[in-house]
Structure 1
Amino acid sequence: MINTLFQLMDAASHLVIHNPHVNACERNFIQCLGMLIQILLIMYLAMYFIFVLSPQNFTATNYAEE
């Protein structure tokens, strides 16, 4: 998923940011959209590391009721 996201951002960079036919407003919009995607990805990874990989999940043992 992350690799696909980076490939998408690289494609947007080559198609929009380095293209001389795209005006400045569209270029700024794509750059802001890329930053927003990166911020959301960092927030998602932070939540994952805090809640899923927390030490309580590894030390707590919950046995199934029989």
Structure 2
Amino acid sequence: MPTPRPTSAWAKTGSETSVSGITVFRWAIIKFNLHTPGREDETDTGTGAPSVFDEAQIAAEESTGKKRAQDEGRS
């Protein structure tokens, strides 16, 4: 039977490492205002290219005919 190794005071479990890593990255993102996916500038006027979500909504409206029916007054 193998003898257990002494654990270091610095040893952490996987979940403790994940939580501390998330905390450090979140702090750095907020502190240095790092751009990450999903965080746009608050001053963005929205004149850029449409997002994938916008394109999907437009495609869904066109495929169901809902937009055309609303335009013709047939709600």
Flag whether TM exceeds 0.5 (same fold): no
TM-score (norm 1): 0.30
Larger Rg over CA atoms: 2
Higher percent of residues as helix: 1
Q: Which has the higher contact order (CA 8 A, sep 6+)?
A: 1
